[in-house]
Chains A and B, each alone.
Chain A
Amino acid sequence: MKEFGRYMIFLGSLVVRRETFITYYRLVIEECMQIGVKSISLFVLVSTFMGAVTTVQTAYNLVTPLVPRYVISQVVREMTVLELAPTIMAIIFAGKIGSSMAGGLGTMRITEQIDALEVMGINSSSYLVLPKVVASMLMYPMLVIVAGVCSIIGGYLVGTLTGILTPTEYVMGIRSIFNDYSITFALIKSFVFAFLIASISCFKGYYTQGGALEVGIASTDAVTSSVIAVLLADYFLANLLL
């Protein structure tokens, strides 16, 4: 509970004694480049294989001839949009971006760079953390959309090239009984997950004390805590919004 209280105070400190809008604008753009552009290849790779594997495994489990084969791509679509793209990618996001945020801030803390900002009269938490949180909330939903598209393409390539189903069947399954609220739900989840991952990781990094060993511990803690928070939030959001 004490840790949770510190986290809430930390969140409060992000929005007080702010710098100018233009300062944040520049920082957010820089962070978007770090978070979004530099992660896209990993997201494309992972999500393409995820879609491919989902197609193969769904086909493997559908043994009865009574179920039409286009159901395979329907399952791929639903799994991708509802869970795989927003949630599994969130775990990858926590591993790549969350640990990097915690490690970066932890290093800045132990090398007195954060103290240097404070001495200059700058609210270091707001200056360093707020742009990361905002950039994460801007970029992660876009990465989720890219991941969703790649997953479905991955499923299409594997499904059609290995003869599991024809291109027409695959497209038919993707288009049948489509509820566009699934997309809205996935995007709401991605906003929430991005906020949780960025803020928790920064919190862990910002309060690092000690040396290099503690920076490593903070990075690991950041990933562990972010993933737990994402899974809890996933459950609550599913109960609340579906």
Chain B
Amino acid sequence: MIKIKNISKSFNDKSVLRNINGEFDKGKTNLIIGSSGTGKSVLLKCIVGLLHPDTGYAFYDLRNFTDADKDVKSEIRREIGMLFQGGALFDSKNVEENVMFPLDILTKMPYDEKLDRVNFCLKRVGLENVNKKMASEISGGMKKRVGIARAIVNNPNYLFCDEPNSGLDPQTSILIDELILEITHEFNITTIIVTHDMNSVLGIGEKIMFLHKGDKLWEGSNEDITHSGVKELDDFVFINKVMKSLKGTKLV
């Protein structure tokens, strides 16, 4: 479980996040949603330590990560897997080397064992026989899958996904969402997903936090999202004609 307490962040006097509190449950897909520019990615970066919040803390199973010393931070980071928006695969390495990279750096496993683990993870995300392809030779959807394989190769306790469906067609998006959901349940990990994709919200939003202009306005599940009573959230959810026509009905 990950808990955040009073997280605030500003850039050049512009307040991006204000006193965000919340809990992200283990074994569930926890979504942070909101329109573009509401601070979702900044919150995620504050949680994983890529940005230091001005105030507040992130706790990983009661361990204070934000104020931890470098050794403790390093230890916790070894339990983290992260899928970046563009995949963030290393251009100079092929698919196999990309997925094997965390094992090379963080473990002393023999090569054969590492290769077995890499092949297991690639198979788990539905990719086989692409080991020797370079990152630039594979499609966007495949890059996301490789990114997921790299994120789970080290058996993480915490999985972070920054807009996993961006730039993907709806069908591939759903496949990626389902993959993340399955992996979360299968390995019982705490997964946090930043998204503004309504298919993801309705499909895999087991726990949802809604941000609006730097404030947390609502928390709940995909079952409650259509009748939250929060105007800003309704504006976000019922944005098109199809969704508007479904207002008041139970979608999940």
Does B124 make an interface contact (CB < 8 A)? Answer: no
The one of A107, A115, A122 in contact with B84, judged by C-beta atoms closer than 8 angstroms, is: A115
Is there an interface contact between B88 and A111, defined as CB atoms closer than 8 Å?
A: yes
In the bound complex, residues from chain B placing their C-beta under 8 Å from that of A122 are: 105
Given contact pairs A111-B88, A112-B88, A113-B90, A119 touches B70 in the complex (Cβ within 8 A): no
Q: 0/1 per residue, A107-132, Cβ < 8 Å to B?
A: 11001110110111110000000000
Is there an interface contact between A115 and B70, defined as CB atoms closer than 8 Å?
A: no
Is there an interface contact between A17 and B85, defined as CB atoms closer than 8 Å?
A: no
Number of residues on chain B facing chain A (CB within 8 A):
24
A120 to B89, CA, bound (A): 13
CB-CB contacts below 8 Å: A1-50 with B:
17, 19, 23
Is there an interface contact between A116 and B88, defined as CB atoms closer than 8 Å?
A: yes
Does B73 make an interface contact (CB < 8 A)? Answer: yes
Does B77 make an interface contact (CB < 8 A)? Answer: yes
A122 to B49, CA, bound (A): 12
Is there an interface contact between B77 and A120, defined as CB atoms closer than 8 Å?
A: yes
Nearest Cβ in chain B — how far from A202, in angstroms? 16
Given contact pairs A119-B77, A119-B80, A121-B77, A112 touches B85 in the complex (Cβ within 8 A): yes
Closest to B75 in A: A121
Number of residues on chain A facing chain B (CB within 8 A):
15
Is there an interface contact between A119 and B78, defined as CB atoms closer than 8 Å?
A: no
Is there an interface contact between A121 and B88, defined as CB atoms closer than 8 Å?
A: no
How many residue pairs bridge A and B at CB < 8 Å? 50
Is there an interface contact between B70 and A116, defined as CB atoms closer than 8 Å?
A: no
Nearest Cβ in chain B — how far from A106, in angstroms? 12
Given contact pairs A17-B74, A119-B77, A121-B106, A113 touches B91 in the complex (Cβ within 8 A): yes
In the bound complex, residues from chain A placing their C-beta under 8 Å from that of B242 are: none
Given contact pairs A17-B70, A113-B91, A118 touches B78 in the complex (Cβ within 8 A): no
In the bound complex, residues from chain B placing their C-beta under 8 Å from that of A115 are: 50, 84, 88
In the bound complex, residues from chain B placing their C-beta under 8 Å from that of A119 are: 48-50, 77, 80, 82, 160
Is there an interface contact between A121 and B74, defined as CB atoms closer than 8 Å?
A: yes
In the bound complex, residues from chain B placing their C-beta under 8 Å from that of A107 are: 91
Nearest Cβ in chain B — how far from A17, in angstroms? 6
CB-CB contacts below 8 Å: B67-111 with A:
70, 73-75, 77-78, 80, 82, 84-86, 88-91, 101-102, 104-106
Given contact pairs A112-B84, A115-B50, A121 touches B90 in the complex (Cβ within 8 A): no
Given contact pairs A17-B74, A115-B50, A120 touches B86 in the complex (Cβ within 8 A): no
In the bound complex, residues from chain B placing their C-beta under 8 Å from that of A116 are: 82, 84, 88, 90
Is there an interface contact between A120 and B90, defined as CB atoms closer than 8 Å?
A: no
Closest to B74 in A: A121
A-B contact pairs, 25 of them (CB 8 A): A17-B70, A17-B74, A23-B104, A23-B105, A107-B91, A108-B91, A111-B86, A111-B88, A111-B91, A112-B86, A112-B88, A115-B50, A115-B84, A116-B82, A116-B88, A119-B50, A119-B80, A120-B77, A120-B105, A120-B106, A121-B75, A121-B77, A121-B78, A121-B106, A122-B105
Besides A111-B88, A121-B78, 6 other CB < 8 A contacts? A19-B105, A116-B90, A118-B49, A119-B80, A119-B82, A120-B80
Q: Hey, which bits of chain A sit against chain B, CB under 8 A?
A: 17, 19, 23, 107-108, 111-113, 115-116, 118-122
